[in-house]
Amino acid sequence: MSDFRYSLGDIPMAVYTFIEKHSWQGKTVIPFCAHEGSGLGSTVRKLSSACEGAKFEDGLAVQGAKAQNSRDAAKKTVETWLTRLGF
């Protein structure tokens, strides 16, 4: 059973289940999401706790409405983020 408490705006419990079944030692985690106002919220803090031993890179949160209605702007945001990360 998970030690994590789920809250609105959190990642799905299925993801926590996946996280708990794997070793994160020496891995790199780069969080990203679409949202409607919460951004990454407390997700990075929760993931940092759940993915013990992982290195975290800067995440990205794109507002869902922007991704849906301003696709070119959203694409540029993602491309800029990926370039900054070295991809």
Q: How far is CA 86 from CA 3, 19, 73, 80, 83, in A?
A: 34, 25, 20, 10, 5
Contacts of residue 10, Cβ cutoff 8 Å, sequence gap at least 6: 41, 42, 43, 46
Residue 5 confidence (pLDDT): 56
Q: In the structure, what pLDDT confidence band is assigned to residue 8 with cuts at 50, 70 and 90?
A: low
Model pLDDT for residues 35-72, shown as the tens digit of each residue: 888 888 888 898 999 999 999 999 999 999 999 999 99
Prediction pTM value: 0.79
Average pLDDT across the chain, whole number: 89
Of residues 67, 83, 72, 82, the one with CA closest to residue 30: 82
Sorted by where each begins, the domain ranges of the chain are 13-85
Residue 1 confidence (pLDDT): 43
Structure tokens at 77: 């945001």
Structure tokens at 6: 């789920």
